Amino acid sequence: MAFNFVNNDDSTTIQGQVRLCSIGNIEGINALNPKIPLDFGKSNLAIIYGANGSGKSGYVRIIKHICGVKNPGKLHPNIFSSINGVRKCKIVYEVNGSHLENEWIVEAGPIKQLRIVDVFDSSTARFYVNGENEVTYEPPILSFFSELTRICEHVAKSIETSQEKLVSKKPHIPSEYFHTTSYKWYDNISTDTKNDEVESRCAWTSLDEESMNGLTIRLMEQNPAE
């Protein structure tokens, strides 16, 4: 299995490829006791299959531990082994075509050259979904929803900015009417306001006309207060 990577170590940028070749000589780890190494082949895709309890999850946990990923799971001792000693296995990998072997010990922690590898499985998915963590890899379907969310947030912000720049063209109402019910309705007029509501609120009756004419006549008098 090959992984392309960019390593930004010590302010230098190195581009290359790392390939995990095989895992073998397993001692004291889970119930794994293979007679031959698990070989991942030379292609960029390897399919590992087997019955329940055959050790697939154990190999995945080994890969997680040697790569130093989050939530790697626990590597249990092999209770069926009569050998009590160091839990270890042989890791064979390539970096930029160079063949490397590592007699890896569980307590030694991740292998430096493999720390750039991301491992993604169902338990990793639950770890990222249920917790607040920085996601280093997203499958295409999750990446789609992340991008869709980002676009929606950008559109919402653009609309909000445009709304803030809009200047109301509604006629100004004197401040002494701000406490009235009519002003509160007028101030909340929007595109959602129904035409029937506008016609009902703004209806001009003969009584309104008569009242306005009376006020106009009084204002034309020299002493309207009398």
Residues 15 and 85 in one domain: yes
Please tell me the predicted confidence (pLDDT) of residue 137. Answer: 60
Please tell me the predicted confidence (pLDDT) of residue 204. Answer: 87
Residues 36 and 81 in one domain: yes
Residues 212 and 141 in one domain: no
pLDDT (mean) for 10-15: 41
Residues 97 and 183 in one domain: no
d(CA 3, CA 108): 23
d(CA 158, CA 166): 13
pLDDT (mean) for 30-54: 84
Q: Is residue 225 part of a domain?
A: no
Residue 23 has pLDDT above 90, yes or no: yes
Q: Is residue 226 part of a domain?
A: no
Q: Is residue 151 part of a domain?
A: yes
Please tell me the predicted confidence (pLDDT) of residue 83. Answer: 62
d(CA 15, CA 93): 17
Is residue 14 very low, low, confident or very high in pLDDT (cuts 50, 70, 90)? very low
pLDDT (mean) for 56-85: 81
Residues 11 and 105 in one domain: yes
Residues 91 and 128 in one domain: yes
Residues 87 and 126 in one domain: yes
The torsion of the CA quartet 6, 42, 69, 61, rounded to 10 degrees, works out to: -170
Q: Are 56 and 50 in contact (CB under 8 A)?
A: yes
Q: Select the more confidently predicted residue: 42 or 101.
A: 101
pTM check: above 0.85 = no
Residue 66 has pLDDT above 80, yes or no: yes
Q: Are 5 and 116 in contact (CB under 8 A)?
A: yes
Residues 7 and 117 in one domain: yes
Please tell me the predicted confidence (pLDDT) of residue 82. Answer: 56
Residues 88 and 62 in one domain: yes
Please tell me the predicted confidence (pLDDT) of residue 127. Answer: 66
Residues 107 and 85 in one domain: yes
Residues 113 and 147 in one domain: no
Q: Is residue 11 part of a domain?
A: yes
Query: Residue 72: which residues within 8 A CB-CB, separation 6 or more?
Result: 61, 64, 65
Residues composing the chain: 226
Is residue 92 very low, low, confident or very high in pLDDT (cuts 50, 70, 90)? very high
Q: How many domains would you assign to the chain?
A: 3
Domain housing 17: 2-133
Residues 86 and 51 in one domain: yes
Q: Are 46 and 23 in contact (CB under 8 A)?
A: no
Q: Is residue 191 part of a domain?
A: yes
